[in-house]
Structure 1
């Protein structure tokens, strides 16, 4: 199968390495073209850590070239690039061609569904609750993969394509996927934004000063309690919609293969196992610039719609916006294009199952 990956960061490279090792044919398209210059010249992609591979990867000339002969398309880049990539892909997507969003943020699947409906094209949109891997780029042709997740939440828009989406993901990436009850469940299953809020907000000066610091090691009991309180807000919203989702403790256990305990204790166990890694060394970090507008803001919106206000999430947006001297929620370019903020909970739940 030919899998076209739209994006060229660490996650995209990790997916390409995984797929190539599994016998599939990955293609990478870099929207800017900058990241893939070395790979375009014929150098091999090197992955180390949880994935050990030296593989050739085809680099697409443009988005049309990437999609032309694809059996599957994957969107794998930070959420602030999703709308741009979707807009570039829309003219080339054809009936029935599956699109996987890794990972889903800010109702991007609804934006894709809306654009496809205008072209009268129908296809399964498969959404993941988080990424398959955690990874850092070590150069233009090399990544370090810290972990490959044992379990990954998945759903499909429209909901009646759920089995098709699940089977596709299993064929490509193995028996690790857990079906969730539609797009709304996935939208409430991405725990990275809330976790990164706790980590980044309470370690912001370390980031700003460029220190080298242990990310998991600095999830102290105080930081852990803050993350647990953020999680309680998310779980209350999910309960209102009758949507089962994982707890933050289950997330850490399944992602890093550690026994369930408090958030802080689990992070210390991750460090003990040598999987912790370092935190961001700049405040120009996706932990804030991606996760605040595209992760926290949708949760705040769902809190308002459901009558379960996410006060800590909203406070995090306000505090970080003040610290950055800018309105971070204004960076979200997907929600304004959807017009769903004024919807009732039942109408939104229906839209998240059927699409546009």
Structure 2
């Protein structure tokens, strides 16, 4: 596989950024004066993140790519001990002191939704993987920003993948050559 799949991998995108939508009230009320992982990563929030990660892994499998789990990436990066996502996050000496963003107008919202989640969910749609968690977070993030992220974000058309089927998308990821669109 070429580097064209790198957007499916980063733990930094999976873990802290998408849960920002779930703690939006805390961010706005505290202006960043709270500990993002210590106070923001509750068991319920972690369940949503785990569901999001499962959708990402299913997209990878549909594309024939074995992706590491969010926990595996955290452990590999030295951010947490091996275990469940909850155990890894709560056992992370490096993440515990991290404070939250001071507003919702930061890259965790303005970049990661339109350029991360929209891309993932769009690829999921193209390869037949349901992404209800990703779709919901795109909608919530769009409402927060007052934008239609499906139109403004990295969708299939902007990635040059509109109209391609699963085998054509796989071929593109493997060799970098964009095939003719299906008719």
Indicate the residue corresponding to 1:305 in structure 2.
126
Structure 1 stretches of at least 4 aligned residues deviating more than 3 Å after TM superposition: 191-194, 333-338
- 1:208 and 2:36 are equivalent in the alignment: no
Greater RCO, CA 8 A, separation 6+: 2
Higher helix share: 2
- TM (normalized to structure 1)? 0.45
Q: Distance in 2 between matches of 1:336 and 1:305?
A: 11
Higher strand share: 1
Which of 199, 214, 218 is equivalent to 2:19? 199
* 1:342 positional shift: 1.8
**Contact in 1 for aligned 2:11/2:70 (Cα 8 Å):** yes
- 1:228 and 2:88 are equivalent in the alignment: no
- 1:287 and 2:108 are equivalent in the alignment: yes
Residue by residue, what CA displacement relative to the aligned partner does 1:102-148 show, whole Å, maximum 9, x if unpaired? xxxxxxxxxxxxxxxxxxxxxxxxxxxxxxxxxxxxxxxxxxxxxxx
* 1:355 positional shift: 2.1
Indicate the residue corresponding to 1:249 in structure 2.
71
**Contact in 2 for aligned 1:197/1:316 (Cα 8 Å):** no
**Contact in 2 for aligned 1:224/1:263 (Cα 8 Å):** yes
Structure 1 residue runs without a partner (length 5+): 1-180
Instruction: Give the alignment of 1:257-268 within 5 angstroms.
Output: 257-268=79-90
Instruction: Give the alignment of 1:74-113 within 5 angstroms.
Output: none
* 1:221 positional shift: 1.2
Instruction: Give the alignment of 1:36-185 within 5 angstroms.
Output: 181-183=1-3, 185=5
* 1:205 positional shift: 1.3
Q: Distance in 2 between matches of 1:264 and 1:311?
A: 22
Distance 1:189 1:297, change over 3 A: same
Residue by residue, what CA displacement relative to the aligned partner does 1:295-322 show, whole Å, maximum 9, x if unpaired? 0011111111111111110111112212
- TM (normalized to structure 2)? 0.84
Structure 2 residue runs without a partner (length 5+): 178-183
The structure with more radius of gyration? 1
Aligned residues: 174
* 1:204 positional shift: 0.6
